Amino acid sequence: MITLGIETSCDETAVAVIEDGFTVRSNLIARQEHLHERFGGVVPEVAARAHVETLNPLLERALAHAGIGFDDLDGVAVTAGPGLVGALLVGIAAAKAIALAARVPLIGVNHLEGHIWANFIEHGPPRPPYIALVVSGGHTMLVHLPEVHRHELLGQTLDDAAGEAFDKVARLLGLGFPGGPALNALAADGDPDAIRFPRAMEDSDDLDFSMSGLKTAVLRYVRAEQAAGRELPLPDVAASFQEAIVDVQVSKTIRAAKERSVDSVLLGGGVVANTRLRERMAEDGAAAGLRVLSPSPDLCTDNAAMIAAVGAARLARGERSMLDTAADPNLRLAP
C-alpha cells in the first residue's frame, strides 16, 4: 500500500511517499527559514504563499524520487491541524485534488500525532502503552497513549512552547532564527552548571510546564551582565538555559511514566533534535528503568513521512476524511 503524505502546517513544505505504513520511499522538505528570518518569526501570510509556490514542484519530485506516479497511490494523508490556517489550507486543497483525481481515499492527520508516529517509522509498529513527550515550536505536552490512536493529555505548557523558548533566548543571544539548533550547538562548548536558572514547576504536583520565568531570568541575567560592562559568557548562558529546560522535561516525563505505570517513553517534535535532551532522557530514563525511543533528528522536525505513517494506519482501519474536510488551527489529539 502506497500512501502520499503532505505537510504544510507551518514553515516547512513537505511531501513524502511511504509504503506499507512505515517504509519511506521519499521524504522531501522545502524550508522557508530564509523568508522569515528578517521578521524574527514565522509570518503566516508569507508561509502560505511559499507553500503555494513550492508544493506542486515538490510533489512531482517526491513521486519521481519514489519512482511512482499518481496512479500508484492507495491513499493521501494531509495535516489537518494544528497549525497556521492559511498554510494548512494549501496542503489540504492539494491533497483533496489528488485524492479526487486519483480516486483514492483522503485522511486528515493531526500534526502532533505525526510527531509521535515519527518513532514508529524507525523503531517498528506501535506497542502501547506509552508516555509521549511532544516538544516543538508550538507545543509542549505530555500525553498518555493507552492504545493506538488514543490520547490522554497529562500536562502542557501554561505559556510558551519549549521550541519558542529556545528561539526567543537564541534571539536574545543574537543567534538568529530559528535559534534552537544554533543555541544547541553553542551550548556544547558551555558549562551547564555555570549559571543556576530557575526550574519552573519542576516540583509542582501537576505535569504542566511553564517557560516564561526561565526566559525572564535569562533576560535579567543578560541585562545585568551588560550593565556591569562584562562580556557575556555565551556558551555558558546557552548551556545553563538548555539544562534548565531539559531538567524539567526529563523529570516530568519520568514522573508521568511512573504515575501511569508505563515503561516506554516516546519523544517527538523539533526540540527532540536537541542533543542534550536526547542524552539526558536516555540516561535518566534508563536509570529509571524506562525504554526511551526518539526519532532520528531529521524525523523530529516537521516532515511528511510522519503524516503519511499516521494516515496509512488510520486508512487501514477504514477511516476516511470527506472532501469537505477543513483546516483546524486548534485541532486536538483524539481522546
With CB under 5 to 8 Å by kind, the binding choice for 126 among ligand KG4, Zn ion, none is: none
- Residue 7: half-sphere exposure toward Cβ, Cα within 13 Å: 34
By CB under 6 A, name the binding residues for ligand KG4: 10, 136-138, 163, 166-167, 178, 180-181, 184, 269-271, 273-274, 301-302
Least Å distance, CB 73 to ligand KG4, is: 25
Site for Zn ion in 135-194 (CB under 5 A): 136
DSSP strands (E only) in the chain? 2-7, 12-19, 23-31, 75-81, 106-110, 130-135, 140-145, 152-156, 264-268, 291-293
Rounded CA-CA distance 76/312 in Å is 8
Applying CB under 5 A, does 7 fall inside the site for Zn ion? no
Burial of 260 (0-12, 13-18, 19+ CB in 10 A): middle
With CB under 5 to 8 Å by kind, the binding choice for 192 among Zn ion, ligand KG4, none is: none
Q: Which of 83, 67, 66, 68 is closest to 7 using CA atoms?
A: 83
- In the chain, the N- to C-terminal Cα span, in Å, equals 27
Here's the x/- map for Zn ion, 102-141, by CB under 5 A: it reads as ----------------------------------x-----
Set of cell numbers at residue 115: 510527531
With CB under 5 to 8 Å by kind, the binding choice for 178 among ligand KG4, Zn ion, none is: ligand KG4
Least Å distance, CB 57 to Zn ion, is: 23
Rounded CA-CA distance 300/180 in Å is 13
Considering the complex, state which of residue 2 and residue 111 has its C-beta at the smaller distance from ligand KG4. Answer: 111
Find the binder of Zn ion among 302, 305, 315, 327 (CB under 5 A). 302
Least Å distance, CB 110 to Zn ion, is: 11
Set of cell numbers at residue 321: 476524511
Helix then strand then coil, % of the chain, to nearest 5: 45, 20, 35
Considering the complex, state which of residue 116 and residue 273 has its C-beta at the smaller distance from ligand KG4. Answer: 273
Least Å distance, CB 267 to Zn ion, is: 13
Least Å distance, CB 309 to ligand KG4, is: 15
Q: Buried (b) or exposed (e) across 99-123, using 16+ Cβ within 10 A? A: beebebbbbbbbbbbbbbbbbbbee
Least Å distance, CB 270 to ligand KG4, is: 2
Window of 17-25, 26-34, 278-286, 301-309 that interacts with Zn ion by CB under 5 A: 301-309
Considering the complex, state which of residue 22 and residue 166 has its C-beta at the smaller distance from ligand KG4. Answer: 166
Q: Which of 297, 215, 284 is closest to 253 using CA atoms?
A: 284
Residues lying near Zn ion in the complex (CB under 5 A) are found at 136, 302
